[in-house]
Amino acid sequence: MPDQKTLRNYARLAIETGVNVQKGQLLVISCPVTHSDFAHLCMEEAYRCGAGEVWMNWADEDAERINLLYGEEAFLAKIPEYQLARVKEAQERKAAFLHIISPVPGIMAGVDEAKAGRISKSRRKAMAPYQAYSMASKGQWSILALPNPRWAVQVFPEEKDPEIAEQKLWNAILNTVYVNAEDDPVATWKAHSREIRHHCDLLDQKHFKAIHFHNSLGTDLTVGLAEEHLWGGGEEKASEIGCLFNPNLPTEEVFTTPDRMHVDGTVYASRPLLYEGHRIENFSVTFEHGKAVSCHADKGEETLKQILSSDENSDRLGEVALISYDTPISEMKILFLNTLFDENASCHLAFGASYPGQIENGTKMSEEELKEHGGNVSEIHVDFMFGTADLTADGIYEDGTSEPVFRDGRFVF
């Protein structure tokens, strides 16, 4: 366990840089019951920054697994009205949302995947009216992670003592978010955001029509880019609040919106995907005219197919993200078995919804207008990693000429 000053700095980073809670604002914190102490630190930091009120939502993956194993599907598929009303009120009050996670990879092993998929789909449908608040960055939201022994021993299987493994995972997580006991985490992240913005600005100046990816795993994929696309990363602006926030702690990516109708070729995942407690390994997906037409996975293929069939647009891409293979997270050579970290060690794509903010004036567009510009509308957004040390990427201009963007897994500019 880190010392109290380091933990306090992590909590401060979450509140001041992650959600950037404003004076008098409601903050909603979701946190596993096993990490209540850290959630309380975040509450204290929020009130120190002037928060008006803090609500707590406690999570329990073990309880969710028991429910899925033994509960009746008809009941589990419904979200109680009081929970929906709570989300509605929070959004109407323009709340900030902090999500603290501590996952156990593979915790849903043994659960009926088809049953879990139907329940998840029903819940997503119920939550769909509230999805735009975060997807369109109307208000602040941020996600960060804390370790637990069961996760740690999977990341560091050579460690037989769960406590030692957990401490190693603590150290790794804190390194990814640049937190220690000595340095000011808020100042460190301001400098980090400037570096990310530099690459975004360079890519915005290119106005590429598409990007072609190729590597030795077999990826040969052309991703068209949406009309008037914008590159983002690091800080975002909450449109209804007017302040900056950081959705992901950590983050190393620059990303934009693919053209939902112009993705062609095959992509091979370079890292496993953990989705709702299920693990998908060694998988590939082939696209034609933007639509996934086939897929294969050595493990978890049924779950992959459920993702692609979640709704009418979940088999199209909503994000393409570029990350140099020499980022600090990548150089750790750790497979975190969690997308929040692994996506920041590798270029990635996302099935499902695109971010409206990555199209010029996209946050003011209707769903149909977003689709006309090439954006995708879906109830899901699932990232998966495909970057490798030998990945090449070429930006393609309107006239068909191209320019190198990546060589040997790294930016060339």
According to the model, what pLDDT value does residue 286 have? 98
Per-residue pLDDT band at 310 (split at 50, 70, 90): very high
Rounded to 5°, angle at Cα 97 from 93 and 98: 155
376-391, pLDDT tens digit by residue? 999 999 999 999 999 9
| Residue 292: pLDDT over 90 | yes
For residue 80, name the pLDDT band (cuts at 50, 70, 90). very high
Given a contact cutoff of 8 angstroms between Cβ atoms, the answer to whether 286 and 292 are in contact is yes
- The mean per-residue pLDDT over the stretch 216-230 comes to 97
User: How do 96-101 and 141-145 pair as beta strands?
Assistant: parallel
Q: Which domains does the chain have, with CATH numbers?
A: 4-176 (3.40.1830.10), 195-232+252-411 (no CATH)
Q: Nearest 5°: phi and psi at 72?
A: -80, 130
Token readout for 20 is: 């950037």
Which of the four pLDDT bands, split at 50, 70 and 90, describes residue 277?
confident
pLDDT at 276 over 90: no
Check pLDDT > 90 for residue 145.
yes
Distance between CA atoms of residues 102 and 61, nearest Å: 9
Residues 6+ apart with CB under 8 A from 192: 178, 234
Predicted local distance difference test score (pLDDT) of residue 328 = 85
SS3 198: helix
Average pLDDT, the chain: 95
Kindly tell me if the per-residue pLDDT of 1 is higher than 90. Answer: no
What is the spatial distance between Cα 146 and Cα 350, in angstroms, rounded to a whole number? 24
Q: Tally the C-alpha atoms within 13 A of residue 322's C-alpha that lie toward its C-beta.
A: 30
pLDDT at 327: 87
Give the model's confidence band at 278: pLDDT under 50 very low, under 70 low, under 90 confident, else very high: confident
Statement: residue 413 has pLDDT above 90: no
Extract the tokens encoding 2: 């880190």
Q: Token pair of 286, please?
A: 């082939």
Over residues 333-346, the mean pLDDT reads: 92
Distance CA 42, CA 16 (A): 10
Instruction: Report d(CA 307, CA 121) in Å as an integer.
Output: 9
